[in-house]
Structure 1
Amino acid sequence: MKSVSIRDLSVSFGAVQVLHDVSFDVTPGECFGLVGESGSGKSTILRCASRLTDGWDGEVRIGDASVREMPVRERCRTLQMVFQDPYGSLHPRHSIRGALEEGLRVNGISDREERMAQAMRDVGLPVSFLDRYPHQLSGGQRQRVAIARALILEPDVLFLDEPTSALDVSVQAEVLNLLVRLQREKGFTYLMVSHDLAVVDHMCDRFAIMQHGRIVEVLDREAITRGGATQPYAKELIAASLEYETAI
C-alpha cells in the first residue's frame, strides 16, 4: 500500500486554466473520491498524476517518490488506471490474452501464463476468455478485463475514472462490488472519479468536491447522508444528489 500526495497541481490547455492549485492526500489503502460536475477537472487530475497529460505544474508523489522522477517501468508497476469506457479502452483486434500480456512483456516479466490466469480469476472471469476478443464480451466483462489488465502488474495504486458509468445499473453493482473485494484482498489505494454520490458512498472513505478546477471541500463519506458540508456548493451538490436518489 502506498499513499498519494498531490500539491499545487495546475494545468492549462491553451488559454484556459483547467486546474488551479489542487492539493489533497490519500492515505495508504484508502479509497478517495473526486466528485463534481462535468468539466470540473476530475479526470484531468488523474491524467496529470498518471502522466498521460504533461505540461502541468505542482507535485504528485506516490509513496515517497515523485511521479516525474519515476522511470516508466517503475511508474507502471506502481500505478495503473481503469478508464471509463470499456468499449474504447481495449483494442478491438487484440485478444484478451494480447491485452494482458503486453504489459508483462514490456516489463520483462516471465511467468506470464500464470499471471494472466490469476488476473482473470481475480476478476471473476473464466481463464478460457483469454482467447476471446473484446466484441465477444459484454460491457461488464470488458470492464473486468480492463481491471484485470490494471491488476496484472500488481500495482500499489489504482486510478479509477468513472469505471462503471458506461455500464447498465445491474452490471455497475457487480463491478463496484468487485473493486471493493479486490481492495480488501490486495490492499490497493484507490483514487476514484465519479459524478455519482451513491457510488462514492459505496466505495470511498473520503471525497473532494470540485468546481471549476478547484477543490471546494474535502469530506468524510458520512457527510453524504448525515450532513457535514460547510461550503454552499458542496451542500447544493449533496442535496441535489439525495433529492435525485429519492425521486427514483
Structure 2
Amino acid sequence: MKPVAIRDLCISFGAVQVLHDVTFDVASGESFGLVGESGSGKSTVLRCMSMLQAQWTGDVIIGSQSVREMPLNARVRTVQMVFQDPYGSLHPRHSVATVLSEPLRIHGLDRQRARMEQALIDVGLPVDFLERFPHQLSGGQRQRVAIARALILEPEVLLLDEPTSALDVSVQAEILNLLARLRSEKGFTYLMVSHDLSVVDHMCDRFAVMQAGRIVEVLDRAAIPSNAATQPYARDLIAASLAYERAV
C-alpha cells in the first residue's frame, strides 16, 4: 500500500476560502482521521484528494506521484471513496450486479462475475445479492455494496466520508468492524472523516483536528482518553466528546 502526503492544500468557492494550506502525512497502511465541526473542511479534503473537486492548489502525493499527474484510469484504480449516504450513492434502478460490473467493464478487467462475487463475500453479503436492487436492501447492506464497489478495483487508498453516520447505531459497529477487518486483511491506507471521536478512537492510528479549513493539531489516538491535545480548540473538542460519552 502507498503513503499519502498532503501539501499546502487550498481551495476557494467563490470569494470564500474553504481550505487554508492543509498539510499532513499518512503512512502506508495507516488509518488516519479528520475530525472537526461541520463546515471545517474535512469532506472537502477528501473531494480534493479524489479530484471530485479539481480547482485547488497545493499537492496531493500518493506514493511518489501527484494525483494531478496520474492518468485517470490509474488514479481511480489507486484511490476510491465511500460516501456518507448509502441511500444516495447507489442508483435506484441499477441492480447490485450493474453497480459492481460497471467499473470492471470500464477498466477491461477479466473474470467479472468471479470478481463481483468475491467483492460481496469480502463485505459479508451473499452472492445472490447481485440480483437485488437498492430498495430491497437495508441501509447497512447498501453501505456494504458501496464498500464492495470501492474495493472491486483493488485500490490502495480508501477515502471514507463518515461511512456510518447515516446508519442506525446497531449497524454502525458492524460497518466499522468490517472496515477494520478489510484493512487488516488487505493493508489499505485509510483516510476517514468523522464527527465522532469514539469512531476515530476505534478506527484510526492518528487524527488531525480541523477548524475553519485549517489543521489545528495532529494527534495519536492515545491522546483521546487523556485529552493530551495542546491546542485550545482541539482540547475543547476532545473534552466535549468525552463529556458526552460519560453522559451517555
How does the TM-score come out when normalised to structure 2? Answer: 0.99
Alignment match, 1:241 = 241
Alignment match, 1:229 = 229
1:199 maps onto 2:199 in alignment = yes
Deviation at 1:111, TM superposition (A): 1.1
**What is the RMSD of the two structures over their aligned residues, measured on CA atoms?**
0.4
Instruction: Give the secondary structure class of the aligned counterpart of 2:23.
Output: strand
Q: Note the alpha carbon deviations across 1:58-86, whole angstroms, 9 max, x for none.
A: 00011111100101110011010000000
Instruction: Give the secondary structure class of the aligned counterpart of 2:193.
Output: strand
Structure 1 residue identity aligned to 2:73:
R
Alignment match, 1:66 = 66
Instruction: Give the secondary structure class of the aligned counterpart of 2:208.
Output: strand
1:20 maps onto 2:20 in alignment = yes
List aligned pairs for 1:70-219, cutoff 5 A. 70-219=70-219
Q: Note the alpha carbon deviations across 1:100-120, whole angstroms, 9 max, x for none.
A: 000000011121001000000
Structure 1 residue identity aligned to 2:8:
D
How does the TM-score come out when normalised to structure 1? Answer: 0.99
Deviation at 1:246, TM superposition (A): 0.8
Instruction: Give the secondary structure class of the aligned counterpart of 1:11.
Output: strand
Aligned residues: 248
Alignment match, 1:51 = 51
C-alpha contact 2:37 2:211 (8 A) present in aligned 1: yes
1:3 maps onto 2:3 in alignment = yes
Structure 2 residue identity aligned to 1:187:
G
Q: 1:227, 1:131 → 2: CA distance? A: 48
Deviation at 1:51, TM superposition (A): 0.1
Q: 1:44, 1:210 → 2: CA distance? A: 12
Q: 1:110, 1:93 → 2: CA distance? A: 25
C-alpha contact 2:12 2:18 (8 A) present in aligned 1: yes
Deviation at 1:183, TM superposition (A): 0.1
List structure 1 segments (4+ residues) > 3 angstroms apart after TM superposition.
none
Structure 2 residue identity aligned to 1:225:
P
Deviation at 1:206, TM superposition (A): 0.1
Q: 1:65, 1:159 → 2: CA distance? A: 17
Deviation at 1:226, TM superposition (A): 2.0
Q: Which of 10-19 and 224-233 deviates more?
A: 224-233
Q: Note the alpha carbon deviations across 1:93-137, whole angstroms, 9 max, x for none.
A: 000000000000001112100100000000000000000000000
Q: 2:85, 2:227 → 1: CA distance? A: 32
Instruction: Give the secondary structure class of the aligned counterpart of 2:119.
Output: helix
Structure 2 residue identity aligned to 1:75:
R
Alignment match, 2:41 = 41
Q: 1:133, 1:147 → 2: CA distance? A: 16
Instruction: Give the secondary structure class of the aligned counterpart of 1:73.
Output: helix
Instruction: Give the secondary structure class of the aligned counterpart of 2:202.
Output: helix
